[in-house]
Amino acid sequence: MTIDRMPRDKGSEVHGIFQKIAGYYDRMNWVMTLGRHEKWCREVAARVAPPAGGQLLDLATGTGVIALAAARRYPTATVTGADFSEEMLRRARTKPGANRVRWQHADATDLPFEDESFDGITEGYLLRNVSDLDTVLREQHRVLKPGGRMVILETCPPSGITKPVMNWGVRTVVPLLGQMVARDRSSYSYLESSTLAFESPQQIARMLKELGFKDIGWRKKFFGTNVILWATKSR
């Protein structure tokens, strides 16, 4: 579970949070998921499956974990890692293999790419951090080629019989870990609130279907607090 992307200007507020947490972002992701985060990112990369020599976009790339996993898995593909946090991108560019990815500053609500530019799109923890979810999904649909696949890694509000326990855990443990590991309780309190308030996988799937996606599915992770969703743009 991570935070890559309130009243007032949510975009400016979230941008400020990600600029601030970039230095301990990877460490907190590892701690909060008990080391599972990179495995999930590799699964996202595996599921997008662009064609040989294809174009792949990783949105909300953060420090580039998904983008770098995709570049390793698909050596003939061109991978673009895009994020609105300049500091996150700076950190991504310092990682091993970073020269195999095209890093680009971009706003997910107004992507600087032509229609049908990409054979696949991946993203990690973007959707819960935007103020206009419909616009962000429409932009991804616009730049994705017909038949291309989108794969999403997101947090998931707890449900079922474990919901009371998991709600308590998210509300209590996440801000506490932020204080202990990163000395930053306030940023991770935002993570707690954005996770519990976010849409269910069923709701996201319905939005994707209305936009013209098909073959939609998802798999929950980590006691139902995270989810990987996938969908294919209709031809």
Q: Annotated binding site for S-adenosyl-L-methionine: which residue ranges?
A: 63, 83, 107-108
Identify the H or E element spanning 80.
strand 78-83
Q: What span, in angstroms and rounded, lies between the C-alpha atoms of 177 and 54?
A: 40
**Token pair belonging to 204:** 């996201």
Residues at the annotated binding site? 63, 83, 107-108
Q: What's the alpha-carbon Rg for the chain, to the nearest Å?
A: 16
Cβ count within 10 A of residue 95? 15
**Token pair belonging to 123:** 């993203």
Question: 111 vs 43, 100, 108, CA distance in Å?
Answer: 25, 21, 6
In the chain, the amino acid numbered 92 is: A
Are 175 and 188 in contact, with CB atoms under 8 Å apart?
yes
Q: How many CA atoms lie within 13 A of 32 on its CB side?
A: 31
Question: 199 vs 1, 51, 157, 202, CA distance in Å?
Answer: 15, 31, 7, 8
